[in-house]
Amino acid sequence: MIDELKAWQRRQDTHFLLAGFGSSNTDLSWHSQGRLTWFCWLSSCIRYHVGKHVEAVNCGICGDTTEQLLTRFGRDITPLRPSMTIVTIGGNDFARLSLDAYRSNLARIVEQLRALGSRVVLQTYYSPMLSAQDLARFDTYMEAVRATARESSSMCIDHYPEMKALWLRDPDGYRAVMQDEMHLNPIGNAAFGALCCRSFGLPDPEWPVESADAITAAINRISTAV
């Protein structure tokens, strides 16, 4: 991923498009309380450090599963022909689709993105605030993300282990970054965005003064959880 962005940085005369493809974890909507999502933080950081010739488009829609992503692929992704697509999906699949269907759909999404010439980045989730039994099942869906990335030689961003470790070790501390059991709050989105930036070899974003301490503390708690 680092090499990819360095190549973009060298080609200032070329337009690159980064797409975020997912569900409510990615979508910029009312659930983000009018604040930036992790994708906003990451894409802003990329544009600042790599160049303004990089465009970012948020293609997240609340409530989607991999089935919905495939259904709207031709409408939302094909016309963009993104240079790179970060796919973050699974929270709704976990509740509504079998693991086999989820894996099959993920593989089809990767295949269709590759056909467009897009570099594919599959991303695991943060940890939902679930019971130990439900979280163990959620683990299998996140492992499917990693397996699909390996099998397709796709890039993978995987911060689920740190997030899960913090939830299990310090539930009260973890609630400080969550809006509800399935969604990050503004502090959590900023912290998750910083972890994504680090995966791309980028510095952390520049935080608003009024929330900088809370975001930094959240990043430190997550980073030291494992």
Residue 119's SS3 state is: strand
Q: pLDDT digits over 13-68, tens only? A: 999 999 999 999 999 877 667 679 999 999 999 999 999 999 999 999 999 999 99
Those residues with Cβ within 8 angstroms of residue 150's Cβ, 6 or more apart along the chain or in another chain: 156
Q: What is the pLDDT of residue 1?
A: 62
pLDDT at residue 2 tops 80: no
176-to-108, 127, 188, 208, 218 alpha-carbon distances in Å: 36, 13, 8, 18, 8
186-to-42, 93, 155, 160 alpha-carbon distances in Å: 14, 24, 26, 18
Q: What is the pLDDT of residue 226?
A: 73
Q: What is the pLDDT of residue 3?
A: 87
Q: What is the pLDDT of residue 30?
A: 72
Question: Looking at residues 60-88, what average pLDDT do you find?
Answer: 97
Please tell me the distance from the alpha carbon of residue 155 to that of residue 141, in angstroms, as a whole number: 17
Report residue 216's pLDDT band, with 50, 70 and 90 as the boundaries: very high
User: What is the average pLDDT score of the chain?
Assistant: 95
- Which CATH code is given to the segment(s) 2-223? 3.40.50.1110
Q: pLDDT digits over 158-184, tens only? A: 999 999 999 999 999 999 999 999 999
Q: pLDDT digits over 102-150, tens only? A: 999 999 999 999 999 999 999 999 999 999 899 999 999 999 999 999 9
The four Cα atoms 103, 105, 108, 109 give a dihedral, to 10 degrees, of -110
